[in-house]
């Protein structure tokens, strides 16, 4: 099966650009200027077709080549993040995976809000943790991205990967405090995969402390690992019109496999969490910042 195309948005010299593919760390970049164009609307109009996207970008200027030695001046952004982060909503579902369900599982999983677009952190940036957090854990997840069109109808744009950092200790104390437990920093990969949600995603979590691996473990996610049908989950959520407005970008986290918390590990301030989505060649790394 052919892998889907990958799109990313970045800033270089204070201007926003679009690139394609998963660039190697030591390779030059070919970037297409966005000008005043919003990347979410570009994808919404062109669909999931890379050729159509490239044609649309061609109208906004010639591509530029960034040599490998200048890559440090390129700043990656969350995929399709609007120029005004308040035009994006970050949310997700919990207890969605087969390994977490039982006879009492409801027919629609609990939904929560992480925040607006400015809560998203690409690899290398710190993830904030509330100073009074009880027990914080990483959650390696598939993230679906949708764009509300001119009629405020959500259109699927693609998927990426993220870390839904959660104060699971607070939730375990009181299930009604889920909404507070989810108000931790949110990691996201800058790469938008222009294809259907992945059926199988495998990888490894590593928590590094003082330069050493303090804990590591494997994870499995993707739609095959879910107890719920994704179209049904999303369809019911997006049936609430209050969530929509033209141009809004939605980042929906689909839930996680077992995390380090379930294996008895406790994260600390300054820990570096590395999520290696090995099956898809994507790595997220963020440092936890208590009270940050």
- Which structural domain range is residue 27 located in? 5-76
Query: Which of 76, 108, 126 lies at the terminal end of a domain, its last residue?
Result: 76
144 shares a domain with 19: no
The predicted pLDDT at position 127 comes to 98
116 shares a domain with 65: no
The predicted pLDDT at position 48 comes to 73
Instruction: Give the HSE-up count for residue 78: Cα atoms under 13 Å, Cβ half-sphere.
Output: 27
88: exposed, middle or buried (C-beta count within 10 Å: 0-12, 13-18, 19+)? buried
| Count of domains forming the chain | 2
210 shares a domain with 233: yes
67 shares a domain with 168: no
Token pair, residue 41, equals 């609307």
The predicted pLDDT at position 35 comes to 85
Question: What is the C-alpha separation between 239 and 146, in angstroms, rounded?
Answer: 14
The predicted pLDDT at position 54 comes to 87
Report residues of the chain scoring pLDDT below 70. Answer: 1-2, 292
44 shares a domain with 112: no
Start-to-end C-alpha separation, the chain: 43
154 shares a domain with 276: yes
The predicted pLDDT at position 246 comes to 93
The predicted pLDDT at position 1 comes to 47
The predicted pLDDT at position 257 comes to 94
Query: Which of 26, 55, 76 lies at the terminal end of a domain, its last residue?
Result: 76
The predicted pLDDT at position 2 comes to 61
CATH number at residue 247: 3.90.850.10
- 130 in Cβ contact with 159 (< 8 Å): no
97: exposed, middle or buried (C-beta count within 10 Å: 0-12, 13-18, 19+)? buried
229 shares a domain with 187: yes
Q: H/E element holding 243?
A: none
Q: What is the pTM of this model?
A: 0.95
- Average pLDDT over the chain reads 93
The predicted pLDDT at position 292 comes to 65
């Amino acid at each position: 099966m052919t892998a889907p195309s990958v799109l990313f948005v970045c800033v270089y010299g204070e201007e926003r650009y679009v690139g394609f593919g998963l660039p190697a760390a030591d390779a030059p970049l070919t970037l297409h200027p966005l000008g005043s164009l919003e990347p979410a609307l570009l994808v919404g109009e062109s669909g999931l077709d890379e050729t159509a996207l490239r044609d649309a970008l061609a109208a906004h200027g010639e591509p530029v080549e960034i040599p490998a030695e200048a890559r440090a001046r390129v700043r990656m952004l969350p995929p399709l993040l609007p120029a005004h982060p308040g035009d994006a909503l970050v949310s997700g579902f919990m207890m969605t995976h087969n390994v977490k369900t039982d006879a009492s599982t409801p027919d629609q999983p609990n939904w929560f809000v992480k925040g607006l677009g400015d809560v998203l952190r690409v690899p290398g940036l710190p993830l904030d943790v509330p100073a009074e957090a009880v027990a914080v854990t990483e959650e390696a997840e598939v993230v679906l991205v949708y764009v509300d069109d001119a009629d405020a109808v959500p259109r699927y744009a693609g998927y990426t990967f993220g870390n839904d950092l959660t104060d699971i200790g607070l939730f375990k104390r009181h299930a009604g405090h889920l909404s507070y437990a989810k108000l931790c920093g949110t990691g996201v990969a800058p790469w938008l995969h222009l294809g259907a949600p992945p059926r199988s995603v495998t990888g490894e979590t590593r928590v590094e402390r003082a330069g050493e691996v303090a804990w590591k473990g494997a994870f499995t996610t993707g739609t095959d690992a879910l107890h719920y049908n994704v179209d049904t989950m999303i369809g019911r959520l997006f049936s609430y019109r209050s969530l929509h407005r033209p141009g809004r970008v939605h980042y929906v986290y689909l839930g996680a496999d077992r995390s380090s918390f379930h294996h008895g590990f406790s994260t600390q301030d300054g820990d570096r969490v590395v999520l290696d989505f090995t099956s898809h060649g994507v790595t997220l790394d963020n440092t936890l910042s208590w009270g940050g």
